[in-house]
Amino acid sequence: MSQNKTIPYKITTLTGLAIVLANMIGTGAFTSLGFQVKSLHQTSTILTLWILGGVIALSGAFSYAEVGANIKKSGGEYAFLSHLYNPLIGYLSGWISLTVGFTAPIALSAMALISYFPYLSVNPRWAAIVVIGIITFIHTRNLKISALFQNSSTVIKMVLFLFLIVMGTFLPGITSGTNTTDASYLTELISPAFAIALIYVVYSYSGWNAAAYITNEFENPSKSLPIVLIGGTVIVTILYSLLQYIFLKHLTLGEMEGQLNVASLAAQKMFGKAVGNLFGLAISISLISSVSAMVWVGARITASMANDHSFLFSFRMQSNQLPVKALWLQFVISSVLIITGTFEQILIYCGILISLSSMLVVIGIYKLRNEQPKNESDTEFKSPWYPFFQIIFVLLTVWMIIFTLYDKPWESLAGMINLLIGTATFYWGHVKLKYF
């Protein structure tokens, strides 16, 4: 008569928070500052940039928490937009996640992991591919192993992160006066360069919505989702702003410009070259949790799509609750991106599409509230100060995308082509099912 052995394993709020923190705290926090200082030269502008990125992420987190608490389906934007609009819009958001939304950040995190590793003499691209392959294999075992691996790797990352912030705060910084603020602050703040730099920051904050992709895997989705999404975003916004302050305190803008390993350079300034190299090793190890979290979450979108589109049936969840084939498909796409793309090109390319998809979910709150019955229970989470945060998110996202389309036309064109290809696969799949 025993039936409890058939109950599937479910993750806790703590594991969900670990996934969000690991998704958010990663490549962008340690690397994107080197690209931002190419065109922004005021420390106050750069710090404003990171705080604004946190406001955007928090605005999105409020919206996703409300949408997720009402729809209660795994798959993130794919599940939400399919419900809010129509299957094609949902499919395209899932296509974005499959082709760049997670595969590109996985590729970028693995590349950053290798670039921070101070004792490596092998080909960095192939080394990054091997790292992704090993982590993918771990996540094909079972959900309990995935949760244990994710929690432990995230704890290591948080300890390292806090250590760097605390030590960087108390150790003396540069005294050259290079990092200053003057009247050009407002000029930079309204410049196209600021909008472009915001793409890097939005990418750095990407992952605040990670829990929305695995809603069905929580013990109590309605309770856990708002805590995980909003709590994780607030924590990371504070940590990110402090971390960028530490970098700006200990490095000149010239030393950071164009560099991927900004954190390692800052550690060398603070502790000396030998200790700085060890710190680079520690950062490299800590990025494992970022790759792991995105590998875990990303494949769930493909599996969710496969439940609704029969031509993707091979990528459905297996009997062990794991999307094994979707995980390996994700590995292949990430590997191709590593071989064919550059760090900066991939970042801009995926940043535009991710922002567009997230914006549609936020706009969908208006539709969701209008469709809800008047006598609906108030037990589900509601975004505070509605529609204040939604307006902020939409306006800043549109502003950022417009300037990026103008300043980075080739990367933007690549994003539009990707959407056209996704549309073609959607209709090809349905034609195939109808006639073959």
Q: Where are the domains of the chain?
A: 10-370+381-427
Model confidence at 189: pLDDT above 60: yes
- In the Cβ-directed half-sphere of 399, how many Cα atoms lie within 13 Å? 17
Averaged pLDDT of the chain: 79
Model confidence at 180: pLDDT above 60: no
pLDDT the model gives residue 86 = 87
What mean pLDDT is predicted for residues 326-330? 90
User: Tokens 């309990």 correspond to what residue?
Assistant: 144
Give 332's pLDDT tier (boundaries 50, 70, 90): very high
* Greatest mean pLDDT among 18-27, 135-144, 343-352: 135-144
* Distance, CA of 294 to CA of 131 (rounded, Å): 13
- Higher-pLDDT residue of 333 and 318 is 333
Is 1.20.1740.10 the CATH number for 10-370+381-427?
A: yes
Range with the lowest mean pLDDT among 39-43, 342-346, 380-384? Answer: 342-346
228 phi and psi angles, rounded to 5 deg: -70, -50
pLDDT the model gives residue 4 = 45
* Distance, CA of 162 to CA of 261 (rounded, Å): 18
What mean pLDDT is predicted for residues 303-317? 78
Q: Are 143 and 11 in contact (CB under 8 A)?
A: yes
What mean pLDDT is predicted for residues 224-237? 84
* Distance, CA of 33 to CA of 21 (rounded, Å): 19
Q: Are 11 and 217 in contact (CB under 8 A)?
A: yes
pLDDT the model gives residue 183 = 56
Range with the lowest mean pLDDT among 312-316, 346-350, 430-434? Answer: 430-434
pTM for the model stands at 0.77
Give 129's pLDDT tier (boundaries 50, 70, 90): very high
* Greatest mean pLDDT among 71-85, 279-293, 383-397: 383-397
pLDDT the model gives residue 394 = 92
Model confidence at 5: pLDDT above 50: no
Model confidence at 2: pLDDT above 70: no
pLDDT the model gives residue 8 = 61
